[in-house]
Amino acid sequence: MSKKRPMTLIRFRSLRSLRGLLGTGARVCRVTWKLSPRTVARYFLGASLEIAGSILSIYATAQLAAGLARFVGGSGDASGLWFWLWLDIGCAVAIAVGFWLMSAAKRILYYRMVAWSTYYYHSTLCRLVITDFENKNVRSLITKVAAGYTWQLSNIMQYMLDLIYGLLRFAAITVVVAQIAWWVIPLLAVFLLPSLVLENKLQSLQWFVWDQKGDHRHIFWGLEWLLRRVRAQMELRSLQSGTYVTEKLRRMNESFYTKQERTFRRASKRLLPAKVIEGVGTAAGAVYLLKQFLGGALSLHQYFFLSGALLRVGGALNAIFGSLNYMQEPLIFARDYFQLIDRQPKLIDKPDAHPLKTSGPPTIEFENVSFAYPGKDSVILDNVSFCIKPGEHVALVGENGAGKSTLIKLLLRFYRPTSGRILLEGKDLQDLAIETWYAHVASLFQDFNQYTLSVHENVSIGRADIAPNHEKILAAALKSNLDEVVSLYPHGYDTMLDSSFEKGIEPSGGQWQRVALARAFYRDAPVLILDEPTSAIDAKAEYDIFNNIFAHYQDRTAIIVSHRFSTVRRAHRIIVLDEGKIVEQGTHAELMKQYGLYHELFTKQAEGYKE
């Protein structure tokens, strides 16, 4: 019973979602039209030429065959034969031109749809809130869309064009054939119906495997992505774990496609009889036509015409049904794609959100803030309250898991507090237009981005809303000691930070961190947020960088998360967290006199350096 259940579920879902899939197809058509109305018009001009040429060619061929039969039969009448021949040749040219127009239009629309779908996919990822990436359903949606956003939308666009073309072709042939023998069309449709139903079910089952294996494929592509990274390859090879990963990928892929294959084999067994029935329909039509001719109901040219039209009608119906069948999986993909790009983030600005009006650093206040990650029971922050004055340099310290980075995530509104409020200039962060707050912030996280761009772009992307200023880039490089590194690069600030490029190099971890620091400094914002900013930099360089921070940010707020206590000694205030609570705060000197947790951690770390 359990083995049959997935098929039942798919059948029910397919029926229930039919209207949605039709709506998705219509939306793809609207997008295609907006991308290039002229190209769509050229496609249907070509389709019209091909359809008209094909029908006229069948008729011309029938007339030519009937004329030749009369001539061979002894009538000696060759009148009209050359006319029908040249007309047939002209039709062949029209068909060729029509197919060329259609093919060229589809290729151009393919390129434009790829560009469109790629842009909207990327922009959607930048618009989603952080929690969306941790949501199982959204993550599965992203994984499925990532598997084919560059080509699946283009495929469905081409299938839709082919379907409309097939319907027009079928309608035109039907109108012509119906003038002589209307019954041919429903006869073929009845015999083709079993194939349509079974192929429709087969496509649904194939996609059902996708839904079942959503997390499975997410893991697969995560591991595959590691194989493409130089640094990941270094670890894989030095730990001799490459074989393990590739074997795991092989097993996962084999499991996925084995299930696809089993599903296909089970469903395709029923498809063979349907295909036989389909052939029987064409044969029945051919037999009936011959009987009609022999009985005198059809003239010779009518028989030839209907015999040729019979194959074209069958081909048109097959094309329509084939398009419908093969469209099903891309349509489901397109539905998921549109579901993703239409997704509205939960932490968006309120309708009445107001901007952060101050031009300088705002007063930042945490008021009884508690937080637990969605779906988790453990509390990360417990009733935390503190205030950061404009221009104050504050360090957040504590052991791993104390809640330091979580405070930063809440301050940047990546998450919403479980309880309590975060206030900027006395206004609840949830009531602010978030982009006006981000405009005040320069941030650097421990897992910072390493862009495959030049040094110049890696720094200037920190203020991407304005044209790059080389003088400011040099100043930012000076503050982060990046200037020392760039001076060693053969192409200076034009050096690509990727060794696979001709003008590229592969920076060390410490060099990358200086690039990221320069990016934060280049932003030149009133509030600087640094989360473990120098973990990969040697002690001397770290000392110089922090001296630059404290020296150049006298009138700006700096919030620094660090495990190295020596780097935060010059902070105006040090806040010590332990198990989600603030246990101490004050200057370095004040905290050392208290002989509390800060004194204990600082002393242990200092002794470690001595050893």
How confident is residue 601, by pLDDT bands cut at 50, 70 and 90? confident
pLDDT at 249 over 90: no
* Torsion sign over Cα 123, 124, 127, 130: negative
Contact 555, 527 (CB under 8 A): no
Phi, psi (deg, nearest 5) at residue 574: -115, 125
How confident is residue 2, by pLDDT bands cut at 50, 70 and 90? very low
DSSP state of 454: B
Pairing of strands 427-428, 441-444: unpaired
Nearest to 362 by CA among 586, 525, 517: 525
Choose between 599 and 174: higher pLDDT: 599
Residue 580 CB neighbours (<10 A): 21
Q: Is 60 helix (H, G, I), strand (E, B) or coil?
A: helix
How confident is residue 76, by pLDDT bands cut at 50, 70 and 90? low
Euclidean distance between CA atoms 392 and 204, whole angstroms: 60
Contact 556, 470 (CB under 8 A): no
Contact 168, 175 (CB under 8 A): no
Euclidean distance between CA atoms 505 and 489, whole angstroms: 8
How confident is residue 5, by pLDDT bands cut at 50, 70 and 90? very low
Mean pLDDT, residues 344-360 taken together = 82
Least confident of 21-35, 70-84, 327-341: 70-84
Contact 171, 328 (CB under 8 A): no
pLDDT at 599 over 70: yes
Strand partners, 388: 364
Q: Is 555 helix (H, G, I), strand (E, B) or coil?
A: coil
Q: What residue has token string 């395709």?
A: 268
pLDDT at 182 over 60: yes
Of 28-42, 146-160, 278-292, 438-452, where does the model show the most confidence?
28-42
Euclidean distance between CA atoms 525 and 545, whole angstroms: 17
Euclidean distance between CA atoms 604 and 469, whole angstroms: 44
Lookup: tokens for 63: 């007339």
Least confident of 58-72, 225-239, 402-416, 419-433: 225-239
Sequence-ordered list of residues with C-beta below 8 angstroms from that of 310, at least 6 positions apart, any chain: 184, 188, 282, 285, 286, 289
Question: Do you know the residue count of the chain?
Answer: 611
User: What is the pTM for the complete model shown?
Assistant: 0.74
Strand partners, 419: 370
